[in-house]
Structure 1
Amino acid sequence: MKHTQEARLRRRSFASWSKVLPGDSLCVPDGQGWLEGCARGLSLAPRGAGRSFGDAAFGVPEGLTCQAPRGAAFDLDILGHLLWLDAGDSVGAAHRWLEGTAFEFPIYGGTQWASVGGATAGDIHGKNHPGEGSFGRHVAALDIVLASGETLRCSRTAHEDLFHATLGGMGLTGLITRVALRVRPRASPTLRVRRRQVAGLDALWPLLWPDTPPDYAFATVFDLAQHRPRGLVFQADRTSAATPPPRIARRIDLPRLPVITPGAVRAVGQLVLNATRDPAETLVHRRDFNYSGLHEHLYGWNQLYGLRGMIEYQFAASQGAFPALVERFVNLARAHDAPMLAAVIKPMGPLASGGLLSFPMAGATINFQVPWSPRALAWLDLGSEAVIAAGGRVNLTKDCCLRPDQMARMYPDLDRWRETVRTYDPRGRVLSALARRLDLKPWATAPAS
């Protein structure tokens, strides 16, 4: 038995999706390895699809990284309107499967490749956050294996403290194995999408918070740090018109080459903007609207930043603070001669999931990319201080910049989260590289030898 366990545990090098936070740990290919790690007293870290831009998806060097289970049949409870699926299954697969039933799930997120367990642990959000809230708001229950090896089913009525610590808890409560998503009767999958250009941020803000909010909304700017940046605003509402479902995007892995550069992004952006000068209205399938970006077809697009990798930075703030905070970041970027590439801005609503470390908050959020460099880390650190001063927060699923003290000042429920998690993980065995970097579990003990 010992020989079998040793053969399953392999040391592997990991990197964040942004390719800038390398690490290594032991790993196993499935959730069963979690119990092996429990028996050996190792530190444990769950891993879904590995799509986190930060260091949340791999363990510490002396620990064990465990892949979330996947592959079991989806189980639809028609009477209870619940879809049970493995934590390692992708969110996109869940949407596609539901299209063959009489039900739908309202949250899409930024990529179809994210795992359901990762979407729960990150409490992801989509372009319809004002009306639907985040992913965790639609999670009805989940099964989780603790560091002790015990499996618990938790919900808003059973082990509710663990449930709320797990939503947005970055995988630090245990290994999520199964998730129940609350689904609803299927409506028309078609959206009527309106697109228009904007020049400058002053023209964007009224469109971000209109008097009558659309069902879906976001804006994109190719390089926000350019003088008087131009971008595109998309607003969409559901309609009864029919559209065919899109084809499944192909997973195309790419070599690590420096193709995505500030100059290349600006050139492509100029071509797109020149071709979209006039407002337009189109009918689009909801899945295509949410998962139509080039990054959805080029699975390994992160390789195209080359050897240096990049930083994906995302923050949220209240509606009152957000415009000035974005201007502050733009000024910092320009002062450091840095780009703010592929910026996406979305309005956010007041509907909360109850997750103690959930990122979404009422107001708006922006994410953008910066080629990695020490200079970029320096000005983004100044930006993080501005986020704190404005009462905002940085998204942990994308973070590689925060310091422990900054994290503590951004998330007011951190102490409550720690108190809850310590009850279920008293020795701090569930420990990712993110948790160690941000000292999220100060009580964590050294692993057994």
Structure 2
Amino acid sequence: MILSGWGRYPRQECTVHNPRSEADLRALTRQGPLIARGNGRGYGDCAISRTGTADMRRFNRILSFDAQTGTLAAEAGVLLADVISVFLPRGWFPAVTPGTKFVTLGGMVAADVHGKNHHKDGSFGRCIEWIDLLGADGEVRRCSRKENADLFAWTIGGMGLTGIVVRLAFRLRPVESGWIRQQTLPAPDLETAMSLFEEHAGATYSVAWIDCLHGGKGLGRSSLMLGEHARLDELDARSGAPFATPRRRMRKVPFDAAQIALNSLTVRAFNALYYHRAVAQRGEALVDWDGFFYPLDALLEWNRIYGRRGFAQFQCVIPLESAKAGLTELLRTISASGQGSFLAVLKRMGPSEGPISFPREGYTLALDFPVNPDALALMERLDAITIDHGGRFYLAKDARMSAATLRASDPRTLDFAQLREQRGLTPFRSSMAERLNL
């Protein structure tokens, strides 16, 4: 079967297995190199393997819930969307969520996903109580901060390379409604945007769309969005019942867009329109949870916008002390290239966490580029700038980085590769692991 990540690049012929039980998974560990795959929302080749890809979506049962602590136990193939569907009407919401709800819980562990609240609440790993992990020997081990603690730590953010997550327990947060108090703050340049992030460090959620093509004095102009879960006493008559938020109309991209549609003129026009709309909509508003956290989920198969060749995402995090200089150089390089991105996101990150997790205190910039020679060459230049400023890259979004670039940006990956060798974990192998010598 031909598989790819969400970016549809690279595509590979893979042997795919569809296990239904732990016995099926144990049998697969005896058949050769293997990697687990959830709902395919990793952007590159992190969850595909030519020799063996285990589709985990049949492990989709919710197992238990403790309403006193908000702790949910579930199998790894459960979708985050299903967790929200079941528990939000009961007053619970994920404590940490990525930008799409169409991810599996196992994938959230593997990528140690972060959200708009990392500066306050950290990444998904901080919410996890325990993980049941299938090893290369076919045994399932309970891993937590007290039991098999080192394996627990390396699994969170380990991209599925320490074993197969079979089930897990993690905490949800209590909420009084399905509405978000959103505040929109336009920023005419990067310096203002970063100042607004720091000024509003107490906000639970913060994220900025950033215009990556506008240069000059307006370099890095942005629209910063802050958010808080709305309390009952903050709802108005239009909100209706606390959790009766409107259902969004789902649309679907019906075909692959032509490459010619993605050029500097169309991207500049889109970015200008988006920024001026943010200026017009500045201020506070009540928005539903789905629109605030998952705006792109309303457009099914939006990855087809980038054409048949697919797209690659560049996401780095630059430490706080060099973030302004690093982001300025990145944005100047992108603007000069004309290889702009419709979807450019800037977030403030909190402190580093696990031994292999992506986040560190600073700023993360994420951009999508259609796959073509010019864009791939640009991303290599962006790699070099990131390394020069002490930054590193998000493996869940990568599809084309070299092993040398990874080592230069993140020496921890050498320790990770040695750990895999010493613990007999090398049978868990993705195409990404092979490309990056992990």
Instruction: State the partner residue of 1:289.
Output: 292
One-letter code of the match for 1:317? I
In the superposition, relative to structure 1, how do residues 47 and 251 fare at CA in structure 2: closer, same or farther (>3 Å)? farther
CA distance in 2, matches of 1:27, 1:214: 43
| Conservation of the 8 A alpha-carbon contact between 2:253 and 2:305 | no
Q: Aligned with 1:140: secondary structure?
A: strand
**TM-fit CA distance, 1:417:** 2.5
**TM-fit CA distance, 1:197:** 2.0
Tell me whether 1:166 sits opposite 2:155 in the alignment.
Answer: yes
CA distance in 2, matches of 1:201, 1:103: 35
**TM-fit CA distance, 1:248:** 6.2
One-letter code of the match for 1:431? R
CA distance in 2, matches of 1:417, 1:155: 19
Deviation per CA, 1:153-197, whole angstroms, max 9, x where unpaired?
Answer: 111111111111110000111111112112344444433211132
One-letter code of the match for 1:37? L
Aligned pairs (5 A) from 1:394-413: 394-413=393-412
CA distance in 2, matches of 1:44, 1:251: 35
Q: Aligned with 1:289: secondary structure?
A: helix
Tell me whether 1:108 sits opposite 2:97 in the alignment.
Answer: yes
CA distance in 2, matches of 1:93, 1:80: 20
Q: Aligned with 1:99: secondary structure?
A: helix
Deviation per CA, 1:206-246, whole angstroms, max 9, x where unpaired?
Answer: 11211653111111024445553543111123442234334
| Conservation of the 8 A alpha-carbon contact between 1:162 and 1:421 | no
TM-score (norm 2): 0.89
Aligned pairs (5 A) from 1:412-427: 412-426=411-425
**TM-fit CA distance, 1:81:** 3.5
Deviation per CA, 1:90-130, whole angstroms, max 9, x where unpaired?
Answer: 12221222113353331121111111111110001111111
Tell me whether 1:67 sits opposite 2:51 in the alignment.
Answer: no
One-letter code of the match for 1:329? L
One-letter code of the match for 2:26? L
TM-score (norm 1): 0.87
Deviation per CA, 1:260-318, whole angstroms, max 9, x where unpaired?
Answer: 61333433333333444332210123343111x1x211221101211222121100012
Q: Aligned with 1:21: secondary structure?
A: coil
One-letter code of the match for 1:88? G
| Conservation of the 8 A alpha-carbon contact between 1:17 and 1:50 | yes
One-letter code of the match for 2:204? D
Q: Aligned with 1:397: secondary structure?
A: helix
| Correspondent of 2:206 among 204, 217, 236 | 217
| Correspondent of 1:434 among 421, 425, 432 | 432
Deviation per CA, 1:52-103, whole angstroms, max 9, x where unpaired?
Answer: 11110101x2x11001143323421335542011211112221222113353
Aligned pairs (5 A) from 1:214-253: 214-224=203-213, 226=215, 228=218, 230-240=221-231, 241-242=234-235, 243=239, 244-247=244-247, 250=250, 252=252
CA distance in 1, matches of 2:215, 2:400: 23
One-letter code of the match for 1:46? A
Equivalences, count? 421
Instruction: State the partner residue of 1:6.
Output: none
**1 or 2, which has the higher helix percentage?**
2
Aligned pairs (5 A) from 1:137-148: 137-148=126-137
One-letter code of the match for 1:258? A
| Conservation of the 8 A alpha-carbon contact between 2:176 and 2:230 | no
Q: Aligned with 2:291: secondary structure?
A: helix
In the superposition, relative to structure 1, how do residues 237 and 165 fare at CA in structure 2: closer, same or farther (>3 Å)? same
| Correspondent of 1:44 among 34, 40, 59 | 34
Q: Aligned with 1:332: secondary structure?
A: helix
**TM-fit CA distance, 1:257:** 2.5
CA distance in 2, matches of 1:188, 1:414: 41
One-letter code of the match for 1:404? A
Q: Aligned with 1:341: secondary structure?
A: coil
CA distance in 2, matches of 1:86, 1:286: 24
- Structure 1, gaps ≥5 residues long: 1-11, 441-449
CA distance in 2, matches of 1:363, 1:193: 23
Instruction: State the partner residue of 2:15.
Output: 26
Tell me whether 1:277 sits opposite 2:276 in the alignment.
Answer: no
CA distance in 2, matches of 1:212, 1:271: 28
Tell me whether 1:55 sits opposite 2:55 in the alignment.
Answer: no
| Correspondent of 1:97 among 74, 86, 89 | 86
| Conservation of the 8 A alpha-carbon contact between 1:333 and 1:340 | no
One-letter code of the match for 1:332? T
* Root mean square deviation of aligned Cα: 2.3
In the superposition, relative to structure 1, how do residues 376 and 225 fare at CA in structure 2: closer, same or farther (>3 Å)? farther
Runs (4+) of structure 1 moved beyond 4 Å? Answer: none
Percent identity, please.
Answer: 27
| Conservation of the 8 A alpha-carbon contact between 1:31 and 1:177 | no
Instruction: State the partner residue of 1:155.
Output: 144
| Conservation of the 8 A alpha-carbon contact between 1:225 and 1:338 | no
**TM-fit CA distance, 1:406:** 1.8
CA distance in 1, matches of 2:363, 2:395: 16
In the superposition, relative to structure 1, how do residues 183 and 335 fare at CA in structure 2: closer, same or farther (>3 Å)? closer
| Conservation of the 8 A alpha-carbon contact between 1:249 and 1:296 | no
In the superposition, relative to structure 1, how do residues 405 and 191 fare at CA in structure 2: closer, same or farther (>3 Å)? same
| Conservation of the 8 A alpha-carbon contact between 2:42 and 2:396 | yes
